[in-house]
Amino acid sequence: MRSVIMGNHALSYGAKLSRAQVIAAYPITPQTEVVELLSQLCANGDMKAKFIKVESEHSAMAASMGASATGARAFTATSSQGLALMHEVLHWAAGARLPIVMGNINRAFGPPWSIWTEQNDSIAQRDTGWLQIYASSNQEVLDSIIQSYKVAEKISLPIMVILDAFVLSHTYEVVDIPEQSIVDKYLPPLEMEYKLDWKNPHAFGGLTKPDWYYELRYQIEEAQEQAKKLIVDTGKEFKEMFGREYGLVEEYKMDDAEIVLISSSTIASTLHVVIDELREQGKKVGLLRIRVFRPFPSEELRKILKGRKKVAVIDRNISFGHEGAFFTETKAALFNEKDHPPIFGFIAGLGGRDVTPDVLKDIFNIVETTEWPEKDIYWIGVKL
Amino acid sequence: MIEIRFHGRGGQGTVVASKALAEAIALEDRYVQTFPEYGVERRGAPVMAYTRIDNKPIYIRSKVYTPNYVIVMDPTLIGAVDVAVGLKSGGSIIINTEKRPEDYKNFIDKGYKVYTIDATSIAIKHRLGSKASPIVNTAMLGAVAAYTGLVGLNAVVEGVRKLSPVKKDENVMAAKEAYKIAEEVKNG
C-alpha cells in the first residue's frame, strides 16, 4: 500500500511487519515518534507485542536483551546521547549473540546542544559487534528492518538500522508498505537454538577463561564475514518478493566513471542529482554509496574502485584528531592494492548543516582540479 | 520538479497543510517529499515547511532554496520575514489575506504572481480553531489547488479528510469553499 510516512514511522511499521514481540524503548528527540506509534499499535491491539516502558536507554537495551535471550523478537530505537548511554550493553548484546534489531536516528552529540543529524553517535559504536546499515530513503528504512531480522537471526548478531535526523526521520515521502502475508513468507518466526527456558535451564555468558574467550571473539568475526554474503543474498530474495534490492553498496553511473564520489545515508541520495548534472556536462563521475558499514565491504570496494582515476569520500562524522570514519575504512581497504587511486577525504554537514548540491559540486571541483590530495582532510564550508 | 515553501506561525497547522498536500499528491500516483524546518517550535513563532513534487523518485535531500511557489498562511509574516527570498523568477505567492493581489505591489513589481484568499474568514465560518486563532490550513490548501492546478480537488479533499484530527467534514467544506472562490477569481 502506497502511504506517505515519515522515517520514524518507517521504523515503526518495519518492526510491526516483522512481528516484533517485545519493544522496550525510552523516547529521545527525534526518535520519539518511533516509540509513540509503536506504543499506540501495542495498546490498540494492532501489534501483538509487549511494550515495556523503561527509565533509560541502558534499560531499554537490557530489556531487549532479556527478551531476545528467551527467543522473542525484540526491537528498540534511539538517538544520539541515548545510544551513547546504551554503549556498555551493546557489547553485551553482541557478545551474547542476540539477534536484536534497533533503529538509530543519527543525531549530533551535545554540547553544544543539538537535535540535528550527524553520524558520530553510531560511528562511536562501530567496535561493539553490531552490524550497521545506513539507509538513504524511508522505503529503505522500512525494508531494512525486515531484511535485518532475517540476517540477524541467521548469524546471531544484532543489527542497527540507521537514518538521518529530520532529513529522513521527520521527512514524509511515499513508501510502499508491503502486505503482512508476504512479509511473513520472507521472514518466518524466530526459532533460536539456545534460549532461556526454565524447562531446559542453561547458563549464558558465564566467566570464560583465556583458553576459550579468544575463540568466541573469533566466531563473532566469522559471523560478520558470513553476513556479507547473507546481506547480498537476502537482498536478492527481497527483490524477488518485493521488487526492491539492497546489498552492501549501491552503485550509480559507475560503468565508465573515472572519478568516484563515496558517501552514505542522505548525502548519497542527494549525490544522485549532482552526478546527473555533472554527467550532462560530460564529466565521467559516479556514485558509490556505502550502505553497510559493519561488516565493512572492503572486497567490494577494491573490486569497484580498481582502475578509477580518483576517489573522494564524504563523511558526516569526525573522529577528532584524525578524519571521517568512511574515509579511514576506504583507504584501509585499498592500501594493499597496487596502483590504487588517490583518495580524498571530506567532512561536511556536521550537526545538520545542509549538504546541498552546490556543496557537493564544490567537492567534485576540488577533486577534479587536484592531482593528488594536498591535505589529509578537507573541511567543507567552515565559516571561520 | 516543483518546489513549494510554506510560511506560517506555530499553531496554524502549517506542517499539517504540507502533509495533507503530500497525501493528495501521492493519491495522484506522483512522488512527493515534505518536511518542516525544525527549530524551536512555539505557538505564534514563524515556521516553515517544504514540499517537492515530481513524476519520478526524488533524490535531493537538501532544503528548498529556490521554490516555484510560496504559500503564506499569515499576512503578518510579510515584512517580518522575507517570504519571497529565493522564489524563482515568475513564481507565485499565495497569501491568506482579505487584501487584493494589487495591494502587494512590491511582489508584483519583481515579476511574481500574487494570489490572495481570505482563508481566515472561511476557517472562522466553519468553526475551525477559535476566532482569535483560526486554523486556516485546509482552506489555504483548497485555494492552492485552484490557483496552482498542482493537484485536483478530489485528492485535496481526501488528503484533508485523512489528516484532520477533528472536524473532518468542516475541514473538507472549508477546502471546497476556498477552492470555489479561488476558481472564480482565477477565471475572472
- The DSSP result for A258-295, as a single string, is SEEEEE-HHHHHHHHHHHHHHHHTT--EEEEEE-EEES
Cβ distance of B33 and A173 shorter than 8 Å: yes
What CATH number has the domain bearing residue A235?
Answer: 3.40.50.970
Helix, strand, or coil here: A187?
coil
Q: What is the mean pLDDT of residues A14-22?
A: 98
What strand order describes the sheet that includes A292-294?
Answer: A50-53, A22-25, A74-79, A101-106, A159-164, A131-134, A292-294
Q: How far is A311 from chain B (nearest CA, A)?
A: 22
Q: How far is A269 from chain B (nearest CA, A)?
A: 5
Cβ distance of B63 and A116 shorter than 8 Å: no
Question: Which 22-81 residues of chain B touch chain A by CB within 8 A?
Answer: 22-23, 26, 29, 31-36, 38, 58-63, 65
Domain co-membership, A237 together with A264: no
> Can you identify the CATH homologous superfamily of domain B2-186?
Pyruvate-ferredoxin oxidoreductase, PFOR, domain III (3.40.920.10)
Q: How far is B187 from chain A (nearest CA, A)?
A: 33
CA distances in angstroms from B185 to A302, B119, B155, listed in the order given: 63, 14, 21
β-sheet bridge partners, residue A163: A105
Cα–Cα nearest to A216, from A228, A204, A202, A231: A204
Under a CB-based contact definition with an 8 Å cutoff, are residues B24 and B151 in contact?
yes
Give the DSSP letter of residue A261.
E
Nine cell digits for residue B100: 487584493
Q: At which of A242, A263, A286 does a domain end?
A: A242
Residues of chain A contacting residue B35, judged by C-beta atoms under 8 Å apart: 166-167, 170-172
Q: At which of A208, A242, A276 does a domain end?
A: A242
Cα–Cα nearest to A109, from A95, A123, A98, A96: A123
Domain co-membership, A267 together with A236: no
Look at residue A313 and tell me whether its pLDDT is greater than 80: yes
Which residue of chain B comes nearest to A171, CA vs CA? B35
ipTM of this complex? 0.95
Q: Output the CA torsion sign for A217, A222, A224, A227.
A: negative
Residues of chain A contacting residue B62, judged by C-beta atoms under 8 Å apart: 270, 354-357
B158 touches A: beta carbon within 8 Å: no
Q: How far is A137 from chain B (nearest CA, A)?
A: 9
Cβ distance of A273 and B22 shorter than 8 Å: no
* Any domain includes A265: yes
Nine cell digits for residue A52: 515495556
Rounded to whole angstroms, how far apart are CA atoms A55 and A79? 15
Nine cell digits for residue A309: 582515476
A298 touches B: beta carbon within 8 Å: no
* Any domain includes A108: yes
Q: Could you give the number of structural domains in chain A?
A: 2
Domain co-membership, A26 together with A8: yes
Q: Find the CB nearest B23 among A4, A164, A269.
A: A4
Nine cell digits for residue A17: 511487519
Please write the tens of the pLDDT for every residue from A134-190: 999 999 999 999 999 999 999 999 999 999 999 999 999 999 999 999 999 999 999
Rounded to whole angstroms, how far apart are CA atoms B8 and B47? 5
Cβ distance of A272 and B36 shorter than 8 Å: no
Helix, strand, or coil here: A288?
strand
* Any domain includes A344: yes
Portion of chain A with pLDDT greater than 90, in percent: 98
Which residue of chain A comes nearest to B64, CA vs CA? A356
A134 touches B: beta carbon within 8 Å: no
* Any domain includes A384: no
Cα–Cα nearest to A230, from A304, A145, A130, A148: A148
Compute the mean pLDDT over every residue in chain A, rounded to the nearest whole number: 97
Q: At which of A189, A217, A242 does a domain end?
A: A242
Please write the tens of the pLDDT for every residue from A175-206: 999 999 999 999 999 999 899 999 999 888 89
Domain co-membership, A117 together with A173: yes
Nine cell digits for residue B118: 481570505
pLDDT given at position B40: 63
Rounded to whole angstroms, how far apart are CA atoms A26 and A7? 18
Nine cell digits for residue A33: 515518534
Give the DSSP letter of residue B88.
P
Angle at which helices A357-369 and A265-280 cross, to 10°: 60
A286 membership: H or E segment, kind and range = strand A285-290
Residues of chain A contacting residue B32, judged by C-beta atoms under 8 Å apart: 4, 172-174
Please write the tens of the pLDDT for every residue from B34-68: 999 977 667 788 999 999 999 999 999 999 999 99
| Domain range enclosing A286 | 249-379
Cβ distance of A357 and B62 shorter than 8 Å: yes
Rounded to whole angstroms, how far apart are CA atoms A105 and A123? 12
A89 membership: H or E segment, kind and range = helix A87-95
Cβ distance of B35 and A354 shorter than 8 Å: no
Domain co-membership, A133 together with A194: yes
